[in-house]
Amino acid sequence: MWVGVVSLFPDMFSAVTDHGVTGRAVKQGLLEVDFWNPRDYTHDRHRTVDDRPYGGGPGMLMKVEPLRQAIRSARAAAGGSARVIYLSPQGRRLDQAGVRELATRERLILVAGRYEGIDERIVEADIDEEWSIGDYVLSGGELAAMTLIDAVARLVPGVLGHADSAEEDSFTAGLLDCPHYTRPEQIEGRRVPEVLLGGNHEAIRRWRLKQALGRTWLRRPDLLAQCQLNSEQQELLAEYIRENDT
């Protein structure tokens, strides 16, 4: 997958390009991230990238010309087949369904805003989709763009080795995760559930599924409502509820 990023702070993106699963994907050539900085398209002495809003009021906007040129350059590099996404608080809320949709694209251009945002005419003329990562206030679009890159890259074939492939296991897709345990067997008197210490893999599978269903029921009934539970899952959840309905 190729991602073109338009941002005033390209160095921030080392968080995804230089670390972990996504960093490895870049090394392996499964993910490519290129950058266009609007500041490189300024021509004044101060390399101005912000501008005052018509109508007054607090805050600044991204200056139109440098931003437009950066987007145009990114589009040209993409060969015109890229989907141009503006990360903005006004955008569609990102969830795993949206990530799956975005992961079908071979090429994405992500425009990360700073200040109060960008001129609406750029949204109309140059942007295909607006996306938000949630209802909280960030200082710019870069962290949202990195979140999107990380989530989408994980769905690119080959990025998740077998070690991590549990991620999209249909077995628990759409549910919260079960509790996890590793050495030592006891921490301040708290022990690992016996089922996990034995070798009964079917019992372990059922225990983990029951825990995932139960925790989703307790903490995120909204997610559970979206799940079509099979008979085994319904039975395990009913068992969990009987054991935990305070």
Query: Using CB under 6 A as the criterion, which residues of the chain lie in contact with ligand 21W when the complex forms?
Result: 87-89, 113, 116-117, 132-134, 136-138, 140-141, 144
CB of 117 to ligand 21W, least distance (A): 5
Judged by CB, which is closer to ligand 21W: 33, or 94? Answer: 94
CB of 192 to ligand 21W, least distance (A): 38
Q: Which tokens in the block code for residue 122?
A: 């750029």
Judged by CB, which is closer to ligand 21W: 85, or 237? Answer: 85
Residues 6+ apart with CB under 8 A from 78: 2, 4, 107, 109
54 is in an annotated binding site: no
Judged by CB, which is closer to ligand 21W: 146, or 224? Answer: 146
133 is in an annotated binding site: yes
137 is in an annotated binding site: yes
Judged by CB, which is closer to ligand 21W: 9, or 35? Answer: 9
CB–CB of 13/7 below 8 Å? yes
How is the chain classified by DSSP, letter by letter?
-EEEEE-S-GGGGHHHHSSHHHHHHHHTTS-EEEEE-GGGG--STT---EEPPTT--SS-EE-HHHHHHHHHHHHHHHTT-PEEEEEEEEEEEP-HHHHHHHTT-SEEEEEE--TT---HHHHHHH-SEEEES-SS--SSSHHHHHHHHHHHHTTSTTTS-GGGGGGG-TTTTTSPPPP---S-SEETTEEPPHHHHS--HHHHHHHHHHHHHHHHHHH-HHHHHT----HHHHHHHHHHHHHH--
CB of 61 to ligand 21W, least distance (A): 10
CB of 26 to ligand 21W, least distance (A): 22
Judged by CB, which is closer to ligand 21W: 109, or 224? Answer: 109
CB of 101 to ligand 21W, least distance (A): 17
CB–CB of 32/26 below 8 Å? yes
- Which residues are annotated as catalytic? 89, 116, 154, 169
Annotated binding site for S-adenosyl-L-methionine, which residues? 113, 133-138
Binding residues: 113, 133-138
